[in-house]
């Protein structure tokens, strides 16, 4: 019975697809559509009135499934992050209670605004439990969140219900959700992209979702942070109450993958695998993804306040914040 209904739905969808002149989903023709979409986005940046390009972009935002490549063969590289966050979700908000997003955005948003950010739609890649949502909803943004971990998304949905659109997706295979004035990946998301090429794939997906004058922002952990939090056993700075964060790697190595273990009450013991990216690797990935490099700022804390410093320093700063826009 259930199968009959399901088959009926598929049939109805393919009838609609036929009427709309789209071919059924297959890897070859999806790849072709993605290429056409990339071409259309390029064209729209140069000639916003181009009808052909507008049509393709509009269709892509109505039917993201048709313009999203199927799982990449090497998607195993995303599995450790998914597994870690399926476990970590149960304590994520309590573990990170010290992170004050309102304070953080009080320094991040002015950096974007002075470089031309316009208020509108936000795509939050690796949104997790939605720590960024409340401050951005309060500022009048419309939000699409996306994350690889369904447990994190369930928590976000419990807190925000219909106020935010949510979708489960790998950042390295991001669907086309629409056109966004701001696309960001906050708080180490890019460090969880450990496979070769995953960073470039994710940045390309972020770029494809940009409105013509949209901006991209993401942060990446510094080598100094990998040294303090991913090496040398228990990290006092990261452990919280009854939960222990334990660095498992021998040394912090530029460009390498590092590991840390989380354990304690109410959480299944699990391992975080995170890759350090050198500023040069990030610049190259941005360029390859068609993103113009606007600025990199070092993020540190002084007297409990978040401070952004130009130029960044891999030892002094905890994170480096990168800002880009469509090249």
Ligand X SMILES: C[S@@+](CC[C@H](N)C(=O)[O-])C[C@H]1O[C@@H](n2cnc3c(N)ncnc32)[C@H](O)[C@@H]1O
Residues in touch with ligand X (CB under 6 A): 78, 81, 85, 126-128, 131-132, 147-149, 152, 170-172, 186-189, 192-193
Is residue 122 within 8 A of residue 136, CB to CB? The reply is yes
**Bridge partner list, 99:** none
Report the residue closest to ligand X, judged by CB: 128
Residues in the chain: 327
Closer to ligand X by Cβ: residue 132 or 291: 132
Q: How distant, in Å, are the alpha carbons of 174, 212, 217, 315 from that of 322?
A: 19, 19, 6, 17
Tell the smallest beta-carbon distance from residue 27 to ligand X (Å).
20
Q: What is the DSSP string of 173-204?
A: G------EEEEEE-SSGGGG--STTHHHHHHH
Closer to ligand X by Cβ: residue 33 or 275: 275
Show the CA angle centred on residue 183, arms to residues 104 and 278, nearest 5°. Answer: 75
Tell the smallest beta-carbon distance from residue 312 to ligand X (Å).
19
Closer to ligand X by Cβ: residue 44 or 323: 323
Task: Say how far apart CA 310 and CA 308 lie, in whole Å.
Answer: 7
Closer to ligand X by Cβ: residue 17 or 188: 188
Tell the smallest beta-carbon distance from residue 78 to ligand X (Å).
4
Closer to ligand X by Cβ: residue 43 or 72: 72
């Amino acid at each position: 019975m259930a199968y009959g209904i399901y088959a009926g739905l598929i049939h109805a969808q393919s009838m609609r697809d036929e009427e709309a002149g789209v071919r059924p989903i297959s890897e070859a023709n999806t790849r072709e559509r993605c290429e056409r979409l990339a071409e259309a986005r390029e064209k729209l940046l140069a000639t916003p009135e181009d009808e052909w390009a507008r049509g393709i972009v509009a269709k892509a935002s109505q039917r993201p499934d048709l313009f999203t490549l199927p799982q990449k063969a090497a998607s195993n590289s995303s599995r450790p992050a998914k597994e870690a966050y399926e476990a970590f979700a149960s304590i994520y908000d309590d573990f990170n209670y010290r992170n004050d997003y309102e304070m953080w955005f009080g320094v991040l948003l002015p950096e974007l605004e002075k470089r031309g950010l316009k208020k509108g739609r936000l795509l939050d890649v690796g949104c997790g439990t939605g720590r960024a949502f409340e401050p951005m909803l309060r500022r009048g943004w419309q939000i699409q969140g996306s994350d690889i971990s369904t447990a994190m998304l369930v928590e976000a949905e419990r807190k925000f219900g219909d106020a935010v659109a949510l979708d489960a997706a790998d950042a390295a295979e991001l669907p086309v959700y629409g056109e966004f004035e701001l696309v960001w990946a906050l708080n180490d998301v890019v460090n969880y992209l450990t496979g070769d090429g995953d960073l470039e794939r994710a940045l390309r997906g972020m770029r494809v979702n940009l409105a013509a004058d949209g901006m991209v922002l993401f942060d990446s952990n510094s080598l100094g942070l990998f040294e303090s939090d991913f090496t040398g056993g228990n990290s006092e700075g990261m452990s919280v109450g009854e939960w222990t964060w334990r660095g498992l790697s021998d040394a912090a190595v530029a460009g390498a993958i590092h590991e840390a273990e989380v354990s304690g009450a109410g959480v299944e013991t699990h391992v975080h695998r995170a890759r350090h990216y050198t500023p040069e690797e990030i610049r190259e990935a941005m360029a390859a993804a068609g993103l113009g490099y606007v600025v990199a700022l070092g993020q540190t804390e002084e007297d409990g306040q978040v401070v952004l410093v130009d130029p960044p320093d891999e030892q002094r700063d905890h994170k480096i914040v990168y800002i880009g826009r469509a090249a």
